[in-house]
Chain A
Amino acid sequence: MHDLVLKTLGIGDLLAWLGVPDGSLVYPVVASVFPLVFLIIFALLAVYAERKVSALIQNRLGPMETGPWGLFQTTADILKLIQKEDITPKAADKILFFVAPVLVFTGTYASLAAFPWSSGFVGADLNVGIFYLLAISSLVVAGLLMAGWGSNNKWSLYGAVRSTAQIVSYEIPAGLAVLTAIVTTGTLSMNGIIRHQEGMWFGLLFQSPFLFVAFIIYLIASLAEVNRTPFDLPEAESELVGGYHTEYSGMKFAMFFLAEYGNMFIVSGIAVAVFMGGWLTPWGTEPSVLMGVVWMILKSLFFVFFQMWLRWTLPRFRVDQLMYLCWKVLIPIAFACLIGQAAVEVYL
C-alpha cells in the first residue's frame, strides 16, 4: 500500500527530498499512518455529523457552543476522554480487557488496507480483495467477545454474546449479497469489481432486479454488522446498560467508538464499491485519481448518513426477531438472488 500512498500524495518525494534513504522503514510507517489519520478525522467528523443529524431529526440545534456551530465539540470530547483515568475493574481479566479494544480497532484499521479509494489509490489491490475485506472486518467479533468476557460483568457478557450471534449470523446474507454481484463481475479484486461497472449508471445497482434486491439485503445486513439501530442490541442502552463496553472508560472506550464509526464507513464503502460503482462517477466514467477519491467518499458518506438517519428514527429489534429476520427472511432471499443472478449470467 505504501508505495501508492506515497506516490499519490507526493509524500514519497517529500521524504526523499528530506534525505530519507530508499528502502528505509520510514516509508511504510508514514504510509500506514495515512489511514489512521483518516480514520480519526473521519470519526471526529462523523460523531459531529451524528449529533447534528440527530438534532435535525429531533428539532434541536445540537452542539453549538464549542467553536463555530459547535464544530470542535467532538475534539473537546476526545481530549476529555484522553485525560480520563483508565479504569480496569478489579475482577476483570486484565489481558483480555486490554486486548479487546485494540483488536476491535485493528479489524477496522486493517480493512482500510484493501479499501479502493480511487483507481490508482488502493492500498493493496488483492485478487481476493472483497473476500479480505469481509473477513478482516469480522475480526471485530473476537474483540467484542473478549471485551464482554474480560469485563467480568453480566451485562457485558450479554452484549458480547448478542453481538457474536448477530454479527456471525448477518455475515451470511451480507456475503451472499456480495456474491450475487461477484457472479456478474467475475472477479474478487476491489478495483476489478469497480472497473467492471464502467459505463453503467449507478454501477450494478440497476442492472438486474436480483442485484437490486441483493443490494438492499447487503444494506440491512451491514447495519447489523456494525451494530447500528435497529440492530444495536449488543450495546442496547435501555436493556444492557452499555453492552460489551459497559466497563470501559477513557481511551479504551474511545477506541471502541472509533472502530464503530470506522466500520460504518467501511461497510458503506463496500456497498458503494460493489453495487454503486465505487470511485466511478455516477454516470459510469472513470474520473481522475483525485476525483475518484472524492466520488468514493461522497457516495460512502451518503450511506453513512443513511445509517444515522435510521438510527434516529427506528426502535430496536428483539433478539429472537433479529435472528428470525436473518435466517428466515434475508438468507432465503439472498440465496434466491444468487441463483437468479447466476441464471441470468448463464442464460442471457
Chain B
Amino acid sequence: MPHLKTEEMIMNMGPQHPSTHGVLRLELVTDGEVVKSITPHIGYLHRCFEKHGEELTYPMIIPFTDRLDYLASMNNNHAFNLAVEKLLNLEVPRKVEFIRVIVAELQRIASHLVAIGTFGADIGAVTPFLWTFRDREVILNLFENLTGARMLYNYMWPGGVARDFPKGFREEIGAFITYFRPKIRDLNNLLTGNHIFISRTAHVGVLPADVAVNYNCTGPVLRGSGVKWDLRKNDPYSIYPEFEFDIPVGQGTMGTLGDTWDRYYIRCQEMEQSLNIIEQALAKFPVEDATDVQAAVPRRIKPPAGEVYARAENPRGELGFYIISDGGTKPFRVRAKSPCFVNLAVLPALGKGIMVSDIVAILGSIDIVLGEVDR
C-alpha cells in the first residue's frame, strides 16, 4: 500500500508522568515505538537559587542548598561548606570531619536506595522500590534522631555541624550496618540478576567514556562508562584519604560497557563501599575528643574578597559551588554547578533510535533530581 503515508508523532512525556522523576518534560519524536529524538524541557521547578544566594548571608544559604538535591541534602551542605571554608581559610576540627563523613556516606546510601528503587519501578518491578524505601526509612530515622528533620537538615555549618552525635548514636549506626549488608544481597537476588531486568537494561543507552567526559558527566554515570573517577579519591577533600575503599567502575558485565545496567550496578556497589567507609570512620572515631562541634563556627561569616570553586562527590556526581565574595557578609555571586543538570544534558545524545521503554530505563539510570536540575 504505497499510497498510505506514515508520519512521525510528537509526544509529550511529562511534566506529569510517573517516570520522569519530577516535573521534567521530554518532547519525543516517535515513529511507532521507536524514538527519533528527545528534547528535554526543564525549568518547571526553578526557584532562583542563585539569585537568592546573592541576597542572603552565608549561613542563610545552607538551608537553600538542602533543597537542591533533596535526596542528598547532607552532601549538598558538605559541598557548600567546603567552598565557604576554603574562602574563609577555616580549619575544621577533626571530630567534625568524622561526623560529616559518616552522615554524608549514610546520605549517599539513602540516595542510592531511592535511585535503585525508582529504577526498578521504572523497569516495572515494584517490589524493590518498597524494599529500598523500607531500608531508607531506617537511615531517615537516624537522621531524624540526629538533626530533627527527615530530609532537609541544615546540619553542616561552616567550620562545624549543628549538633554532636546523641548518646548511643554510633551504636545505632553500627546496628544499621549489620542490618543493611544482607539487604543489599537480597536486592541483588531480586533485581540485579533478574533475567528480564538484564534484558531490559543491558546494551541499552550505551554512553561511551569519551562522550561522558566531553559532556562532563560525573558520578555513577561517568563511572558506569568505565572511567575510574571519584572526587573522594582523585581530588580528596575532608578526611576521605584516611579511609580505604574501592571505586566501582562499569565493566560491561552483562552487556556493553556504559549501558544502563552498568550505571545501575555501580550504585549497588557504592552502597557497600559507603558502608565500608562508615565502618572505618566509626572505628577511628575520636571518642575521647570532647570538642564542641560548634566551637569552630565563626560568629560572623565575612570572607575576604576573592573567589573559589569547590566541589564534592555527591551521590549523583560532582556538585560544585563557585562563590565570588566582595568582602561582605553576602556572597557577590553563588553558582551551583549541578551534576543532575549536566548528566541530563546527555539524554538527547543517548536517545536516538531507541524504544519508548528504553527512555524510561535510561532516565532512571541517569538518576536525576529535578530540584537540582532546575535549582
Contact = CB atoms under 8 A, between A and B. Distances in A.
B360 interface: yes
B289 to A, nearest CB: 39
B42 to A, nearest CB: 20
Contact of A236 (B9, B120, B196, B357): B357
Interface string A310-325: 0011111111110000
Nearest to B9: A154
B200 A318 contact: yes
A315 B200 contact: yes
Contacts of A240: 356
Interface string A64-78: 000000000000000
B38 to A, nearest CB: 14
A236 B196 CA distance: 15
Given A314-B196, A316-B200, A317-B200, A239 B357 contact: yes
Nearest to A320: B355
Interface string B329-357: 00000000000000000000000000111
A230 B200 CA distance: 12
B125 A59 contact: no
B265 to A, nearest CB: 15
Contact of A229 (B11, B124, B194): B124
A94 interface: no
A126 interface: no
Given A238-B18, A241-B17, A320-B355, A315 B123 contact: yes
A312 B121 CA distance: 11
Nearest to B33: A319
Interface in A225-270: 229-230, 232-233, 236-241
Contacts of A58: 126-127, 130-131, 134
B355 A319 contact: yes
The residue among B11, B122, B190, B357 with the most chain A CB atoms within 10 A of its own CB is: B357
Contacts of B191: 315
A84 interface: no
A319 B358 CA distance: 10
A60 interface: yes
Interface string B110-142: 000000000011111111001100100000000
A180 B267 CA distance: 47
Contacts of A236: 124, 357
A76 to B, nearest CB: 22
A238 B196 contact: no
A15 B360 CA distance: 58
Contacts of B130: 58-60
Interface string B158-194: 0000000000000000000000000000000011001
Nearest to A317: B196
B322 interface: no
A344 interface: no
B199 interface: yes
A84 to B, nearest CB: 19
Contacts of B121: 238
Contacts of B196: 230, 314-317
B134 A59 contact: yes
A170 B231 CA distance: 51
Nearest to B17: A241
Contacts of B200: 315-318, 321
Contacts of A320: 33, 355
B197 to A, nearest CB: 5
Contact of B356 (A158, A237, A317): A158
B190 A238 contact: no
B19 interface: yes
The residue among A241, A313, A314, A317 with the most chain B CB atoms within 10 A of its own CB is: A314
A57 interface: yes
B21 to A, nearest CB: 10
B194 A314 contact: yes
A238 B122 contact: yes
A69 to B, nearest CB: 19
A250 to B, nearest CB: 20
Interface in A40-81: 54, 57-60
The residue among A230, A312, A318, A320 with the most chain B CB atoms within 10 A of its own CB is: A318
A322 B199 CA distance: 11
The residue among A60, A232, A237 with the most chain B CB atoms within 10 A of its own CB is: A237
A261 B371 CA distance: 39
Nearest to A57: B127
Interface in A6-54: 54
Interface string B255-294: 0000000000000000000000000000000000000000
A291 to B, nearest CB: 36
B113 to A, nearest CB: 14
B126 A312 contact: yes
B125 A314 contact: yes
A154 B11 contact: yes
Interface string B184-215: 00000011001011011000000000000000
A324 to B, nearest CB: 10
Contact of B355 (A57, A232, A314, A318): A318
B350 to A, nearest CB: 16
A321 B199 contact: yes
Interface string B62-100: 000000000000000000000000000000000000000
B49 to A, nearest CB: 29
30 contacts: A54-B126, A54-B127, A58-B130, A59-B130, A154-B9, A229-B124, A230-B196, A236-B124, A237-B18, A238-B121, A238-B123, A238-B360, A239-B19, A239-B356, A239-B360, A241-B17, A312-B126, A315-B123, A315-B196, A315-B197, A315-B200, A316-B123, A316-B357, A317-B196, A317-B200, A318-B357, A319-B33, A319-B357, A320-B355, A321-B199
Nearest 10 Cβ contacts at the A-B interface? A316-B124, A315-B125, A58-B130, A238-B19, A315-B123, A315-B124, A318-B357, A238-B122, A315-B197, A315-B196
Given A239-B19, A315-B191, 9 more contacts: A58-B126, A58-B130, A58-B134, A229-B124, A236-B357, A238-B123, A239-B357, A315-B194, A317-B199
